[in-house]
Amino acid sequence: MKKLNKRNYKLAGIFGVSAIALASIGFASWVITGGNTEAEINGLSVTAVDVDDNRSLKLEASVTDGNVTFGPSVVKDSPIQPSEGTSEENLDYVISVKLTQNSAMTIEEGDTIVTTYTFSSQIVGLISGNYITFAGGELSGSTIAVTYTITNTDVTDVKDNVLTITLTHKYGWGTKFGSKNPAEYAKDSGANLDSIVTDLNKIHTDLSEEGATAVTAKVQFNKKAAA
């Protein structure tokens, strides 16, 4: 069985209204059985500095879990298995948003927090080509905007003028893999192992290109429209 060396890539982006964030990117190993082939595709590891929205309401945002990995799951009797024997998939990207209100601007039900992600042309191509997904909004050009609406429960949770909200934004596998982990998809009747390996290699090749893993994100608080 042929194995690929793990590689590391660096990703630089912008997170929030006006702050620079750095991220690193690594690879998860795939072992494809039933032939002398192996594909390896990348995962994301992102950290972000805090961000201030310098209007009357203060906004701070940070990544609490940015270790997104497009890796294989452990699926019994699947011809695709992770090289380390444990699941390497983690598709949740979690950020923490802290809002501090004051007399000039308060947090109300119906207000929104919009996180706008801007992707490289390679990632856009992979989303458009149904290799991967990013939930929460429609792809418009190179961006996806994910909106969270403040609820009455959130307003109740404001303590000492501060509200902290955890937002989970989800990556996923596209219809090329039956919208499921390729290890699981490989067990489906009619699944073509050669096609799966080809598609995994497509993701690997595209994201290996210079600048391909660049992602920016902007977090913004919006007041609801006046009644």
Q: What is the pLDDT of residues 104-126, one digit of tens each?
A: 788 999 999 888 888 889 989 99
Distance CA 182, CA 173 (A): 8
Q: What's the pLDDT score for residue 176?
A: 95
Question: What is the pTM assigned to this prediction?
Answer: 0.76
Residue 204 pLDDT: 81
What confidence score (pLDDT) does residue 174 get?
A: 96
Q: State the residue for tokens 């937002």.
A: 167
Arithmetic mean of pLDDT over the chain: 74
Alpha-carbon separation of residue 35 from 31, 32, 73, 88 (angstroms): 10, 7, 19, 21
| 44-97 pLDDT per residue, tens | 333 334 444 445 678 888 777 766 777 888 888 888 888 777 888 888 888 888
Highest mean pLDDT range out of 30-44, 78-92, 148-162? 148-162
Q: Is a pLDDT exceeding 50 seen at residue 27?
A: no
Report which DSSP code applies to 82: E
> How much is the pLDDT for 127?
95
Print burial letters for 108-147: b (CB count within 10 Å at least 16), e (below 16).
eeebebebbbbbbebbbebbeeebbbbebbebeeebbbbe
Structure tokens belonging to residue 149: 């609406």
Backbone conformation region of residue 28, classed left if phi is above 0, alpha if psi is from -120 to 50, else beta: beta
Q: What is the pLDDT of residue 221?
A: 84
pLDDT digits (tens, 9 = 90+) for 166-194: 999 888 999 999 999 998 999 887 788 88
